[in-house]
C-alpha cells in the first residue's frame, strides 16, 4: 500500500527545510521531504544584515553566526571606501549549521526527510500526485517543488550571478578581520566582476570571485579566481563553493493541479543581488495558516516598488556593465546606511526608496528605465 501525505516537498535545501519548519510551527505535520543528497553539504555561506527595524533572523535559528562585522568596504579602481555600519551588522552562517538545525527540528518531531532519495518520476493521478522513488511510490495531495529550473530566464534585463569561492588560510596576517570587502571591482566592458571577502581572522577568509553576466562561463570565473588567490599567499584551501544564481525579476509562479514551485526561481532570490537567505526567512515568517493548503499560502509576496527598482538596476547592469562599480559606490557611500541595508534586506520604508532614487545618477537610471521598454 502506498504511503499518503497531504504535502510532499521536493528538495531539502534552504527553501524546502524552511518551509517544513514553518508548516510545523503552524501545526501542519502531514508532510514529507525528499532530498537527493545523502548528507548536508558545507558548500554554501548564508549572509545577511541585522540591526534596528529588521526582522530578527537570529531568533529563527539556535545556531550562532560564524562571524559578524561592523564595517564593509567597497573598492573601485583600487580606491577603498569603508562604511561603518553603526548599529547594524553583516553576518554569515555556514549552510551546514543552518540546514542541520532545520533538519533536526523536523526529524525530532517525527517528520520524514528522505535523504539520498531522488525523485525518478511524477505522475498526476485522480486522487493526487504519485511520486516514484528508487524503491517505492508515494501518493501526495500537493507537491511543492524547490528544485532549480533546468534553464535560466534570459528575458531582458535578467542576468546570472556566477561565482567561485575558496575558504583559505594564508601564510601571512593579511586580513582585517573587522571589515567585509563586499565588492572589490575589476574593470570589464562585458560583465560586472568583483571579489567578495569574508575575513574570519587575520589569516583565514572566504574569497569569492563573482560575475554578473548574461552567460554562464565558469572557466572565465575560475581563471580570474585563481589569479585573485595569488594575492593572498595561500597556505591551504579548506573549502570551496561554486554556484549560479538567477538575477531575474520574472518569477516562476507555476501552480497547476496542486503542483507548486518554490525556491530561487520562484521568488526566493532577490533580482538585483541573487541572494536569498533573508528573503526566505521573511517568507517563512509571513506564511499564513489556512484551512486548506494552497499556493496563496506559500507564494512569495512581491513588493512591486522593490521589484521595479531592481528591474531598472538590472537594466543598467546588463546594458552598461562598465558603469556598475560607480553605481554601487554611490549606493553604499551616498545613500544613508540604514536605508541601503533595509532595501537590501527587503524591508524598505517609503523614505528609503526616496533616498535611493534621489542619490543614484538620474540620467543613467532613466536610460535603464527606457531600455526596459525598448529592448
Q: Residues 216, 225: contact at Cβ < 8 Å?
A: no
Q: Give me the pLDDT at residue 293, please.
A: 81
Backbone phi, psi, residue 191, to 5°: -130, 165
Q: Residues 86, 337: contact at Cβ < 8 Å?
A: yes
Hey, what's the cell of 323?
558603469
CA distances from 301 to 14, 66, 288 (A): 18, 30, 12
- pLDDT greater than 90 at residue 50: yes
In 32-147, alpha helices (H): 95-107
Cα dihedral 19/147/299/53 (nearest 10): 60
Residues forming a β-bridge with 68: 91
| Residue 332 CA to its chain's centroid (Å) | 20
State the sign of the Cα–Cα–Cα–Cα dihedral 107, 112, 117, 120: negative
- pLDDT greater than 70 at residue 324: yes
Q: Give me the pLDDT at residue 201, please.
A: 98
Strand segments, DSSP code E, in the chain are: 3-10, 31-35, 45-50, 67-69, 71-76, 79-84, 89-94, 112-115, 121-125, 128-132, 137-145, 159-170, 179-186, 192-199, 204-213, 234-247, 255-256, 259-261
Hey, what's the cell of 113?
526527510
Average pLDDT over residues 50-57: 91
Backbone phi, psi, residue 343, to 5°: -65, -45
Return the closest-CA partner of residue 315 out of 360, 264, 261.
360
Q: Give me the pLDDT at residue 233, please.
A: 98
Question: pTM (2 decimals)?
Answer: 0.93
Q: Between these two residues, 334 and 28, which has the higher pLDDT value?
A: 334
Beta carbons within 8 Å of 108's beta carbon, 6+ residues apart: none
Q: Between these two residues, 42 and 205, which has the higher pLDDT value?
A: 205
> In angstroms, rounded to a whole number, what is the distance separating the alpha carbons of residues 281 and 325?
29
43-80 burial, b at 16+ Cβ within 10 Å, e below that, comes to: ebbbbbbbbeebbebbebbeeebbbebebbbbbbeeee
Return the closest-CA partner of residue 71 out of 175, 169, 176, 173.
176
> In angstroms, rounded to a whole number, what is the distance separating the alpha carbons of residues 106 and 128?
24
205-234 pLDDT, tens digit each: 999 999 999 999 999 999 999 999 999 999
Return the closest-CA partner of residue 54 out of 90, 1, 20.
90
Residues forming a β-bridge with 244: 162
Only one residue has cell 532545520, namely 102
359-370 pLDDT, tens digit each: 999 999 999 999
Hey, what's the cell of 25?
510551527
Hey, what's the cell of 76?
573601485
92-144 pLDDT, tens digit each: 999 999 999 999 999 999 999 999 989 999 999 988 999 999 888 999 999 99
156-171 pLDDT, tens digit each: 999 999 999 999 999 9
Q: How many C-beta neighbours within 10 Å does residue 27 have?
A: 7
Hey, what's the cell of 170?
594564508
Amino acid at each position: 500500500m502506498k504511503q499518503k501525505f497531504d504535502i510532499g516537498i521536493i528538495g531539502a535545501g534552504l527553501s524546502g527545510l524552511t518551509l517544513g519548519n514553518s508548516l510545523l510551527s503552524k501545526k501542519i505535520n502531514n508532510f514529507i521531504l525528499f532530498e537527493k543528497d545523502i548528507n548536508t553539504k558545507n558548500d554554501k555561506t548564508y549572509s545577511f544584515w541585522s540591526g534596528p527595524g529588521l526582522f530578527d533572523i537570529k531568533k529563527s535559528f539556535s545556531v550562532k553566526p560564524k562571524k559578524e562585522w561592523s564595517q564593509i568596504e567597497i573598492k573601485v579602481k583600487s580606491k577603498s571606501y569603508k562604511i561603518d555600519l553603526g548599529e547594524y551588522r553583516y553576518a554569515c552562517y555556514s549552510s551546514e549549521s543552518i540546514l542541520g538545525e532545520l533538519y533536526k527540528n523536523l526529524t525530532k518531531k517525527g517528520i520524514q526527510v528522505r535523504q539520498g532519495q531522488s525523485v525518478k518520476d511524477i505522475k498526476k493521478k485522480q486522487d493526487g500526485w504519485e511520486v516514484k522513488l528508487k524503491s517505492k511510490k508515494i501518493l501526495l495531495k500537493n507537491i511543492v517543488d524547490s528544485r532549480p529550473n533546468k534553464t535560466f530566464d534570459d528575458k531582458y534585463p535578467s542576468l546570472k550571478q556566477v561565482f567561485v569561492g575558496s575558504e583559505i588560510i594564508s601564510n601571512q596576517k593579511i586580513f582585517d578581520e573587522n571589515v567585509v570587502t563586499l565588492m572589490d571591482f575589476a574593470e570589464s566592458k562585458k560583465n560586472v566582476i568583483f571579489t567578495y571577502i569574508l575575513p574570519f581572522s587575520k589569516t583565514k577568509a572566504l574569497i569569492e570571485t563573482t560575475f554578473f553576466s548574461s552567460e554562464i562561463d565558469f572557466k572565465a570565473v575560475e581563471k580570474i579566481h585563481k589569479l585573485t588567490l595569488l594575492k593572498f599567499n595561500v597556505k591551504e584551501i579548506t573549502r570551496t563553493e561554486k554556484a549560479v544564481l538567477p538575477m531575474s525579476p520574472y518569477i516562476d509562479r507555476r501552480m497547476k493541479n496542486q503542483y507548486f514551485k518554490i525556491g530561487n526561481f520562484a521568488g526566493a532570490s532577490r533580482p538585483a543581488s541573487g541572494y536569498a537567505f533573508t528573503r526566505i526567512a521573511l517568507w517563512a515568517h509571513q506564511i499564513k495558516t489556512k484551512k486548506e493548503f494552497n499556493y496563496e499560502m506559500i507564494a512569495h509576496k512581491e513588493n512591486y516598488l522593490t521589484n521595479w527598482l531592481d528591474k531598472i538596476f538590472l537594466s543598467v547592469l546588463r546594458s552598461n556593465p562598465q558603469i556598475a562599480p560607480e553605481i554601487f559606490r554611490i549606493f553604499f557611500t551616498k545613500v544613508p546606511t540604514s536605508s541601503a541595508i533595509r532595501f537590501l534586506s527587503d524591508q524598505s520604508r517609503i523614505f528609503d526608496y526616496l533616498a535611493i532614487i534621489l542619490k543614484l545618477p538620474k540620467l543613467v537610471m532613466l536610460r535603464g528605465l527606457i531600455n526596459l521598454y525598448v529592448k
